[in-house]
Structure 1
């Protein structure tokens, strides 16, 4: 008879412990819970579960410190790290510490059970392969997001950070491909060596070979000095080749040889230069289609496509827009040494349902514009630039569910930010929007507006005064 899986849970939040315990017990898993890491470490001296689930932010000993101690004493114990801080720093720190998996809150109960079962199987099967902890991990707050698609990106960075493997990043322009490449480098064993970036679409074709491989003195007209190319500059570190799909065919052949042999000849040179470089390539194009069209070498594609990371477009993760708006408004204020602007509920709801064809880059630039141009600290809908006010969207707000979804997203964000008196903030704003819309529709006729809203005339007059609505 096979014994039941055993999973221990560590979280200072009693309600979280209860929910996770009940879900696991329902799946036939034996559980035991602890409110603090020190209590768990004491229990581990006498017993050992198949897997462990721990929160990352706890008073006293936090989840990362606990994970560190477990890696020393019980390196084969799979640890699932939970966190409400859904950012790259938390994910990378967890994976660097040897976590089996990273679970952002709020989580789906089925996902918790599935992860726990996988961890138990892994714990019974894995060999003694403890992972070293990378200390002093630099945070990269530019890459933020709570959407499931972004959590997958964070997980990929965490898993790949300790390797030297070639990575291909694909995603629309403005999604942050270079930021992901920098994060891979920053959290890798090469982090103390150069990170060199080259955008293939920004270099004239006749200069591209010299840019990549360098040239000797006198190699061509104007080459008065020897110049090291990007490969040589990146030796020991990482070379990021952005928009790799724009690389000319003849350079694709040379790049393939460097990837295969680890050496190249600068323009005009007779001796090869040996280099140790990790390649991270990126593109907004579909390389498979370029291969079919004969515009990109198939063998080079397979060399680059060892591991692929897809960066979602902003319209694919709209739940992250409020988070990004607040982040970039604060960042713009810091850059410009001014007071940080805040968004009215109406402006935030509107911006959160835009498609943002320029992705995060467009949103970041819009926040800079608003920081400079908005007339007051609170940004209103009329403060937005015309190009945003005239944007088309995937879903118009006329849909019966859309406004509810936007309001829910806003409230969720306020709750996560632990804002107080949310109802006192939201309800007056919603009422003000309703009243303004009704007055606008009736051309200022209060009696008709009151009927449409279901208010008495005196009630409407009182609310107009209380809310400071100007007609």
Structure 2
């Protein structure tokens, strides 16, 4: 565990014993904190959130057992190793029942201390990895796809910024991939082995957002039946992604400013200060500068968020990325839907490349998923795209063509679309088009529209 960024709190009323443990942990390159009483230990745990506590059992006023019971009552999740004299082994067993992870005896043997701590470090590392794996699976980590030079430049900027703990503000229209960008920054950072926590500030009602971010004490408000850790506590040593930061109300903005400045906050209903080692990435599709001018967003908070600013371009400005994104989504949904991998026809690909994409990458993903679900052919063609998109692509394809050529192609497309919707039944297709069946049959011959394989002999022209 050498080099692993972990805090160990030493709790003992004997100053000499604290000093000995500090010295031995210093050799192991571990960051140490100290407390001389049970009450001070609880304050340190609430404030610093150490991963491991070395807890002396024999202390006046508030014993080690009392500390363990307080930790359980408050829901503070730390790995506790109790330290006990030879004559109090029964007390050590009781401590294990109260939630302690292990125990060591006094006088402390250096080799045994290292063995017990190594086990505790490994346990803590596995717990962190488990949390990281859970958040990664929930977020379905995706690599940023960039053929566009502007996007490549932004990725280089993000790589450089990832190595620090500075706050990053991601700007851009909805659907441009700000969360994907944030996840990559976290993965490139020294915090990659710790949690990546997402909070969608716009999706949580104002009255619940404060509790979601900072946690609450039992009884803090109606319905607060037990202590709850907030996202800032959960994200300790990792990264927290605050999406739609512009939607946060003024009272919470004040608390966010303190977290960014001092890395401190209190749970709702508590006056106890908690410290968190976190990196904040915020995102918005709004104009924060305008919100500041109009008084809807704190100017000091804006400047604390805007240390490194990255504005993601809309998909219509990075069309070089569209073929690669299409290929990625085709492979993704072929796997998820357990279907053969399909390709787009040249007409469909050309159409998707020229479309203006108001919904950006998110809209493109939805279009490809829909096509993979509904397509029955070996290829995905324009007819497999959403009607409004297919119609727009058809208009784009007809633009610039001679009148009679454009009319002929539009008639072909309209009849083909009606035949597809009627599953090849010409009678139903004629009804959809408001035509006589005999006239539709004539148009099919004149326009050289091939009959679908599913047509019956009765329906063939």
Task: Name which one, 1 or 2, has greater alpha-carbon Rg.
Answer: 2
Give me the CA root mean square deviation. 2.8
Confirm or deny that 1:470 pairs with 2:415: no
Once the two structures are TM-superposed, the CA of residue 214 in structure 1 deviates from its matched residue by 0.3
Partner of 2:369: 368
Partner of 1:239: 240
Q: How far apart, in 2, do the equivalents of 1:325 and 1:302 lie?
A: 37
Shift in CA distance, 241/439, structure 1 to aligned 2, threshold 3 Å: closer
Q: How far apart, in 1, do the equivalents of 2:154 and 2:410 lie?
A: 45
Shift in CA distance, 265/140, structure 1 to aligned 2, threshold 3 Å: closer
Q: How far apart, in 1, do the equivalents of 2:272 and 2:393 lie?
A: 57
Partner of 2:294: 293
Q: How far apart, in 2, do the equivalents of 1:231 and 1:273 lie?
A: 10
Shift in CA distance, 189/289, structure 1 to aligned 2, threshold 3 Å: same
Shift in CA distance, 303/316, structure 1 to aligned 2, threshold 3 Å: same
Partner of 1:218: 219
Partner of 1:382: 383
Q: How far apart, in 2, do the equivalents of 1:148 and 1:399 lie?
A: 29
Partner of 1:164: 165
Deviations 1:171-224 (A, max 9, x none): 111111011111111110001111111011000000011011000111111111
Deviations 1:333-381 (A, max 9, x none): 0111110121111111111111111111111111111001012121122
Aligned to 1:189, the other structure's residue is in SS state coil
Deviations 1:80-102 (A, max 9, x none): xxxxxxxxxxxxxxxxxxxxxxx
Aligned to 1:217, the other structure's residue is in SS state coil
Partner of 1:260: 261
C-alpha contact 1:355 1:392 (8 A) present in aligned 2: no
Once the two structures are TM-superposed, the CA of residue 270 in structure 1 deviates from its matched residue by 2.0
Partner of 2:186: 185
Aligned to 2:164, the other structure's residue is in SS state coil
Aligned to 1:202, the other structure's residue is in SS state coil
Aligned to 2:159, the other structure's residue is in SS state helix
Once the two structures are TM-superposed, the CA of residue 390 in structure 1 deviates from its matched residue by 3.2
Aligned to 2:190, the other structure's residue is in SS state coil
Matches within 5 A, 1:11-50: none
C-alpha contact 1:168 1:308 (8 A) present in aligned 2: yes
Q: How far apart, in 1, do the equivalents of 2:202 and 2:355 lie?
A: 28
C-alpha contact 1:340 1:377 (8 A) present in aligned 2: no
Instruction: Report the count of equivalent residues.
Output: 277
Q: How far apart, in 2, do the equivalents of 1:144 and 1:247 lie?
A: 30
Worse-matched range after superposition: 351-360 or 141-150: 141-150
Q: How far apart, in 1, do the equivalents of 2:375 and 2:410 lie?
A: 26
Once the two structures are TM-superposed, the CA of residue 312 in structure 1 deviates from its matched residue by 0.9
C-alpha contact 1:291 1:297 (8 A) present in aligned 2: yes
Once the two structures are TM-superposed, the CA of residue 141 in structure 1 deviates from its matched residue by 4.8
Aligned to 1:390, the other structure's residue is in SS state helix
TM-score by length of 2: 0.56
TM-score by length of 1: 0.55
Matches within 5 A, 1:53-452: 141-391=142-392, 396-397=396-397, 437=409
Q: How far apart, in 1, do the equivalents of 2:289 and 2:315 lie?
A: 23
Structure 1 unaligned spans of 5+: 1-137, 403-432, 444-467
- The structure richer in helix per residue is 2
